[in-house]
Amino acid sequence: MAATTVIAASGVLATASSASATVDPPSGGWDHTWTTTDAGKGGTIYIAEHGDIVTLCDTNADGRTPHLEVNYEDGPGDWGFAYALDATGGEGSCVSARASQGGRYDLPENEEIEIAIWLGPLYHEYGMARHYYLNDH
């Protein structure tokens, strides 16, 4: 299962954050780990496909907030918005979402998932990376 990365430099994204603000110090067992595109790697995403666990952490004391957006393939070339997360507590803070929260956090099985990560407040300031994986767990 190969992951794909796309960098975007302009456009507009809207975010909403209603996931739990639990701090999960990541310790391994993650299927995917990706960082923001800035030189200091100010944000890191950790993904465990089983349980649809998505954790975003602020990994640099740079005064900026890492953001992510989760989308799912909703037909050929069509993407549906699932949710967005912001790690707002400064360096070392994390925010997580998981399937057990139900609703939008229970990602569709056997579908392509798109994860966009950027360092804010606006993604065009430091660039945005898009990563993809097949949610087959």
* CA of residue 134 relative to chain centroid, distance: 15
CATH of 4-134, one of 1.20.120.420, 1.20.120.450, 3.40.50.880, 2.60.40.3080: 2.60.40.3080
At residue 27 the predicted structure's pLDDT band, cuts being 50, 70 and 90, is low
Check if the beta carbon of residue 49 is closer than 8 Å to that of residue 134: no
Is residue 32 scored above 60 in pLDDT?
yes
Amino acid at residue number 38: D
Is residue 3 scored above 90 in pLDDT?
no
pLDDT digits (tens, 9 = 90+) for 49-67: 999 999 999 999 999 999 9
Q: What is the pTM of this model?
A: 0.79
Q: Alpha-carbon distance 131 to 6, whole Å?
A: 7
Q: Alpha-carbon distance 88 to 24, whole Å?
A: 14
Q: Coil, strand, or helix at residue 99?
A: helix
Q: Coil, strand, or helix at residue 123?
A: helix
Q: For position 97, what pLDDT does the model report?
A: 97
Q: Alpha-carbon distance 79 to 94, whole Å?
A: 26
